[in-house]
């Protein structure tokens, strides 16, 4: 699992976020590479809990002294992040890797 990405579930909402968080913690602990990556290509629904989850991912990457990468972020998630004023917190070196 050293260089693999964390594949997020299709929904990042209040109803599933605790399960996703536990999975993410396991991924972060097990990953021996230099970068932690979340693959968001399959995510079709994201609410404020999902945004908090993504911010937590960035915090965990710093805790484990790793770079972080958000892959395949949909425009709808980016728009929600911008609306909530947290898009800059999710940026990878000043940019977001956009998805479909």
Domain coverage including residue 35: 6-88
Look at residue 98 and tell me if it is in a domain.
Answer: no
Q: Give residue 39's pLDDT.
A: 97
* pTM score of the predicted model: 0.86
Q: Is residue 19 in a domain?
A: yes
Residue 59 belongs to some domain of the structure:
yes
In a domain, 94, yes or no: no
For residue 80, give both structure tokens. Answer: 């929600």
Q: What is the CATH number of the domain that holds 63?
A: 3.30.750.24
> Does 54 fall in a domain?
yes
Question: What is the Cα–Cα distance from 97 to 63, expressed in whole angstroms?
Answer: 22
Q: Which helix (H) or strand (E) holds 29?
A: helix 17-30
Whether 41 maps to a domain, the answer reads: yes
Q: What DSSP designation does 85 have?
A: T
What are φ and ψ of residue 22, in 5° steps?
Answer: -65, -40
Q: Do 17 and 50 touch, CB atoms closer than 8 A?
A: yes
Q: What is the pLDDT of residues 43-59, one digit of tens each?
A: 999 999 999 999 999 99
Q: What sign does the dihedral 89-93-94-95 (CA atoms) show? A: negative
Structural domain includes residue 100: no
Number of structural domains, the chain?
1
Q: Would you say residue 96 lies in a domain?
A: no
pLDDT tens readout for residues 57-97: 999 999 999 999 999 999 999 999 999 999 999 986 434 44
């Amino acid at each position: 699992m050293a260089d693999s990405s964390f594949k997020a579930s299709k929904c990042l909402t209040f109803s599933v976020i605790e399960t996703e968080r536990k999975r993410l913690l396991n991924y972060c602990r097990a990953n021996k590479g230099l970068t932690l990556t979340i693959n968001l290509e399959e995510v079709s629904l994201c609410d404020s809990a999902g945004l908090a989850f993504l911010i937590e991912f960035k915090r965990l990457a710093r805790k484990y002294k790793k770079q972080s990468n958000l892959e395949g972020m949909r425009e709808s998630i980016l728009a929600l992040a911008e609306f909530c004023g947290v898009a800059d917190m999710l940026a990878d070196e000043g940019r977001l890797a956009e998805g479909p």
